Amino acid sequence: MTVFVEHRGVFHWLAQWIFKKPKVSQVHLERFGSFLFPLIDGSHSLYDIGQEISRRFGEEAEPLYPRLARYFQTLHACGLIEYKTGNLQRIQKKEVSMDEQQNKNG
């Protein structure tokens, strides 16, 4: 799965104009990310997503929750997800578009 992230705002506009940076970046997700990213819909908790990953990948996903927590920290740091106010276990995707085709790696 590929996630397309549009760069908006004055800083990004300047970077696009001066440094010829792209207006849209492509983030290619590996197979675990391709499986879990659609589950980030604001209605699944981290625990729910972990259970789905465990059912799908079994022992291959272990250590599941430390790995999942780190993955969400990375997605948040990259600005791909944001936490809902009042419930840090529930998450929602920021405004990004997804290409549902699997990339060659996963």
CA distance 5 to 80: 8
**pTM summary value:** 0.63
Q: What is the 3-state secondary structure (H, E, C) of the chain?
A: CEEEEECCCHHHHHHHHHHCCCCEEEEECCHHHHHHHHHCEEEEEHHHHHHHHHHHHHHHHCCHHHHHHHHHHHHHHCCCEEECCCCCCEEEECCCEEECCCCCCC
pLDDT in tens, 66-99: 999 898 888 888 777 877 764 444 455 555 555 5
Domain 2-99, CATH number (from 3.30.70.120, 1.10.10.10, 2.20.25.650, 3.40.640.10): 1.10.10.10
Structure confidence at residue 51 (pLDDT): 93
